[in-house]
Amino acid sequence: MTSGRPDLTVRGGGIFGLAIAYQGARRGAKVRLIEAERIGAGSSGGHVGALAPHVPENWNAKKQFQFESLMMAETFWAEVAQIGGRDPGYGRIGRIQPLMDETQIARAQERAQSAADLWQGRATWQVVEAAQFAPFAPPSPTGLVIHDTLSARAAPRAAGAALVAALQALGVEIVIGEGAEIGPVIHATGAPGLADLSAAFGRPMGNGVKGQSALLRHDAGVAPQIYADSLHLVPHADGTVAIGSTSEREFDAPDTTDAQLETLIDTARRLCPALAQARVIDRWGGVRPRAKSRAPMLGAWPDRPGHFIANGGFKIGFGMAPKVAQVMIDLVLDRQATIPEGFGVQDNL
């Protein structure tokens, strides 16, 4: 303890680790963040940054948690930018999804009513004309798309840099490599951490799933992101569009790109003709942590007093990060257990 401030160590410089360290420092802790390799070395160093909700139906604890986190995001990222002076690339730009036939239209209209109830009037899910989003819009055989106003984006690398700047402004010590732990320890170590947990418990606790993405030079302005054919096309504020990603359970090299990404790029150009001539300026490959339960894995490390786990962000880590950080700091600093059903470490045992 130093000057009455609780000590806290966060292991991992991905989005979960950075957000937890930030929340801990904001709550008055003396924080040391230890990252083995570099900030954003794992899945948080990619391109896409789609902060998008699950469909508003069959509501459960995971969807409620995600909704609350997405609603926290604007204030969270605005404060990060103000404290550190760096732009995280956040924008609540919404999302459109093409509707292929009458069955999809009917289902989307039912979900619009569900969204009106479940999203508490704070965001909408509507069936609208696709033409209003041209030229950054996908072909739609029906001429209609789903437009939701809850989806947002953050530029992953810019968001990581913004959090680092905020941590430095708050006096957080950032150690790259190895460092001594102080106080309780939160392990937010991504796919390598899942492998360590599986070895520690002698059973699979999750696995790494490789993803590949690309960044194209195209200024789409304030157009909403597109989700079609299981592909995200996310316009960023710096005049780029991120597309991704593949989902590979078996792979030889964790950080390379191959023909699968080229197919993805071709698909993106087909889905959004405005990208037909857009130049590819970066390609990325990385491994995302998927917990066994498919929800984030949060809580105390069984049989290891003083150690805690925050892992399993998979494809929704950036959207979940503000709420994950809140509940982990509630648990570790205030001893308040606010982790929802299905998110516990025991749910993966």
- pLDDT band with cut points at 50, 70 and 90 for residue 297: very high
Q: How far apart are CA 174 and CA 185, in angstroms?
A: 14
Supply the pLDDT for residue 349.
86
Which residues on adjacent β-strands are paired with residue 206?
291
Q: Token match 């303890």: residue?
A: 1
Does pLDDT of 189 surpass 90?
yes
Supply the pLDDT for residue 5.
83
Q: Token match 């090299």: residue?
A: 253
Which residues on adjacent β-strands are paired with residue 176?
35
Supply the pLDDT for residue 3.
56
**Model pTM score:** 0.96
Q: Are 36 and 203 in contact (CB under 8 A)?
A: no
